[in-house]
Structure 1
Amino acid sequence: MKQKLFSLLSWLNRSLDSNTAIGIATYAHKVTAVCLKKNQGQWYVHNSHSVNVEDQTDYTAAIAACTNEVCAEVCAVNLVVPHYFYQIVQMDKPMLSDEEIIQSLPWTTKDLVDIPPENIVADFIDYPIIQPMQSSKMNVFITNKLQLLPFIDSFEKIKPVLRAMTSEEMILVTLFGEDKSAHMLIVQHAGHEPRILIIRDGQLLLVRRLNGFLGISDKERTQGLVEALGLEIQRSMDFFESQLKQPPIRSIQLHCDDLSSLTLRAGLADFLQVKVVDFKPNVDLAQELEPNFYYALGAAYQLTSPDSVV
């Protein structure tokens, strides 16, 4: 399954160190980087670093500084685009080659987003659930080229090479690993609304962005919050299990900045009668890192796969 999106293959004109991979993750106020190296056939965490940023205009310098800090060699970089920089829409998949589909996306999606077609950058992944009597579908990731340019400019004067960009959702798919059971993940970054993902066996089965949960403080974690979030989770579970006719969700995992707490976790477990735990990557290398480096680790880890673009 494709995990890296917005590939930059045509821009590469240098050979890269295949034993080194860098992942970069950008947040509202932080850039993190993880460098993996391979020794005797085994990948290990060589270095990690983070840089605080005040606003988006600081991304270019912060990404360059963060990248150089973890590794200054000529190697591949995979960068995680912030979730608020792109949209995800589901569409019928046309009977075309992958390359032809990608070339057509700026025009087939132009009425779905508020971006001029000439500035649309889009990629897709196959939607793995096929319903009887329905055509195959795909999840399309759409962003504005003008938003990506500062990321690209970050690598103009440094040795590491930006080879691909990916989404937060595909990073989480990577970090979940190849678990055969379906798991629901509640993701929420500071200052942003939560999202609901369902992941199974290396595939993204559902993604929903919620509204109405911003500004919730510790003092406001009442039964009302548990019920409001619980109802949204229950709707997603019902849709997945009843309408899509999929086996039950095995667990619910929280990966939240503002919404995580023992009280919320216990309240959701009681409300939903489903196991609720904090998110832990199913990747051994994650044990060496703090949670704020997970996305950067996932981006680097994607470059280590045999079918990587490195």
Structure 2
Amino acid sequence: MKEKLFSWLNRSLDPNTAIGVATYADTVNAVCLKKQSDQWMVHSSHSVNVSEQTDYTAAIVACTNEVSTDICAVNLVIPHYFYQIVQMDKPNLSDEEIIQSLPWTTKDLVDIAPENIVADFIDYPITLTMQSSKMNVFITNKLQLLPFIDSFGQTKPVLRAMTSEEMVLVTLFGTHKEAHMLIVQHASHEPRILIIRDGQLVLARRLNGFLGIADKDQNQELVDALGLEIQRSMDFFESQLKQPPIRSIQLQCDDLSSLTLRAGLAEFLQVKVVDFEPNLELAQQLEPNFYYALGAAYQLTDPESVL
């Protein structure tokens, strides 16, 4: 299923224009890509500050209308606190049959009524001997999404798909053959550990108890504790999943001090630690707060990534 998540619409849209919209920290950001001479280029970008969650829908409308008034596709990045990721055995069914069954097969795993569950999946890329194939399932509440979906009734661009932050980061990371770890943390939220290899999400963990590692309150014990959680993830990946060693750790953090944390983790783990930079030339034209929106727009440039 590649980067595709939660896509459903099918109508005639401008194939040479793609928009990504993402809520990030206290802003909503949008990026519009246009295809010129067979190459995708950054056409425009816009950001709107928000202070309350109720402001996001108006900001989505403002951002989308600012970057383009074409009738084109939009890919919306769902905030990470709107969804959960669970790993399940993959049944021997078609993709469509699996998606149709997910509200009922996942209802006991989440605190969402089955009729309000919206779910999609990606294949888990590692299958061990004597184990069945697995899949990562992304689950969200339809009631949370409706205000976001309804906001596109006020824009000419059409909401074509919704995606997760993890899959956007996979897109931004590119197709490195070697495995790399990404530590992701948004303002006032706990960090997550991702392992990405060859354009696939191999591991995703959400951590708890690390909000104290802020610039104004750097705590060596918490840095060591985070290093220990990272080491556990590395050991699981390399020993339990029998995969080659992690080649680098990359930080994409808001509250965490990249300089302090980078040095502390590098010393603790004896692994190269760097700040995250997308493996897309288009990203060089944009500030980091637009990366998620760029990744969402870029997903739409692949005709196989959205139904």
Give the structure 2 partner of residue 71 of structure 1.
68
Give the structure 2 partner of residue 142 of structure 1.
139
- Alpha carbons of structure 1 residues 223 and 308: separation in structure 2 relative to 1, 3 Å: closer
Pairing partner for 2:218 from 217, 221, 225: 221
Structure-to-structure mapping, 1:227-246, within 5 angstroms: 227-246=224-243
The one-character-per-residue Cα deviations of 1:209-237 (angstroms, maximum 9, x if unpaired) are 00001143324323212211100000000
Structure-to-structure mapping, 1:21-100, within 5 angstroms: 21-100=18-97
Pairing partner for 1:155 from 152, 155, 158: 152
The one-character-per-residue Cα deviations of 1:154-188 (angstroms, maximum 9, x if unpaired) are 11121100000000000000001010000000000
Task: Give the whole-Å Cα distance in 1 for the aligned partners of 2:155 and 2:65.
Answer: 7
TM-score normalized by the length of structure 1: 0.97
Letter in 1 for 2:47: S
Paired residues in the alignment total 307
Task: Give the whole-Å Cα distance in 1 for the aligned partners of 2:103 and 2:69.
Answer: 35
3-state secondary structure, aligned to 1:156: helix
Task: Give the whole-Å Cα distance in 2 for the aligned partners of 1:219 and 1:142.
Answer: 35
Answer yes or no: is 1:171 the counterpart of 2:168: yes
Pairing partner for 2:125 from 105, 113, 128: 128
Task: Give the whole-Å Cα distance in 1 for the aligned partners of 2:273 and 2:209.
Answer: 22
TM-score normalized by the length of structure 2: 0.98
Task: Give the whole-Å Cα distance in 2 for the aligned partners of 1:307 and 1:159.
Answer: 23
Letter in 2 for 1:140: V
Q: Is the 8 A contact 1:19 1:37 kept in 2?
A: yes
Task: Give the whole-Å Cα distance in 1 for the aligned partners of 2:213 and 2:177.
Answer: 34
Answer yes or no: is 1:301 the counterpart of 2:298: yes
Letter in 2 for 1:3: E
The one-character-per-residue Cα deviations of 1:16-60 (angstroms, maximum 9, x if unpaired) are 111100000013421000000010001110000001112221122
Give the structure 1 partner of residue 6 of structure 2.
6
Deviates more, 1:24-33 or 1:95-104: 24-33
Give the structure 1 partner of residue 249 of structure 2.
252
Q: Structure 2: where are the runs of 5+ without partners?
A: none
3-state secondary structure, aligned to 1:227: helix
The one-character-per-residue Cα deviations of 1:189-222 (angstroms, maximum 9, x if unpaired) are 0010000000000000000000001143324323
Letter in 2 for 1:94: P
Task: Give the whole-Å Cα distance in 2 for the aligned partners of 1:190 and 1:175.
Answer: 20
Q: Structure 1: where are the runs of 5+ without partners?
A: none
Letter in 1 for 2:158: V
The one-character-per-residue Cα deviations of 1:88-145 (angstroms, maximum 9, x if unpaired) are 0000000000000000000000000000000000000000000100100000000000
Q: Is the 8 A contact 2:34 2:41 kept in 1?
A: yes
Identity %: 83
Letter in 1 for 2:78: V
Q: Is the 8 A contact 2:258 2:275 kept in 1?
A: no
Q: Is the 8 A contact 1:59 1:150 kept in 2?
A: no
Deviates more, 1:210-219 or 1:267-276: 210-219
Task: Give the whole-Å Cα distance in 1 for the aligned partners of 2:18 and 2:59.
Answer: 18
